[in-house]
Structure 1
Amino acid sequence: MHKLDVVFFASLRESLGKDKVSIELDKVTSIEEIKQAVACLLDNPDPLFEEGIQASIDYNFARDSSKVDPENVKEVAFFPPVTGG
């Protein structure tokens, strides 16, 4: 088993009431599967599933179908849609 930190940023962090959780992974897992696992650890997981929530794997943008290899990845992050200006 490998420990994976899952962090939340900006308004998502505020909505969830946590800045991070840690989970244990023993196999390659998709971002969507990680969302489902993390949801079990949260009092109110609904904001994690809102439209537009973005993900990254070790600071690189990722999709729900992107795979996380627990032997090589240290952090997955979720954040609201990025806007610029």
Structure 2
Amino acid sequence: MTDGAGRCWLCGRPLGRRVEAHHLLPKSRGGRETVPVHPICHRTLHATLSNAELARAYGEADALRAHPGIARFLLWIADKPPDFHAPTRRRR
């Protein structure tokens, strides 16, 4: 589940003790391929975008990183340690 460099697929920071698998195409849409992400990055993805949105337009990391809500999160998380955790706010 981890890549050779041991980095999060979304934010690019080194992975910590806990690693989750994010389905590039949501499992509910038949996705099988996963990438390693921090728990906080994974929760932010799913709190920001629905599975339908992820399937339709956000299967690539560059597209996700360009989303305004994800881009703000990435700026905020960039200097945090690998095992950093904070509550994740759901979208409104």
Instruction: Determine if the TM-score, normalized by the shorter chain, exceeds 0.5.
Output: no
Compute the TM-score of the two structures, normalised by the length of structure 1.
0.32
Bigger proportion of residues as strand: 1
Where relative contact order (Cα < 8 A, 6+ residues apart) is larger, the structure is: 1
- Structure with the bigger percentage of helix: 2
TM superposition score normalised by structure 2: 0.31
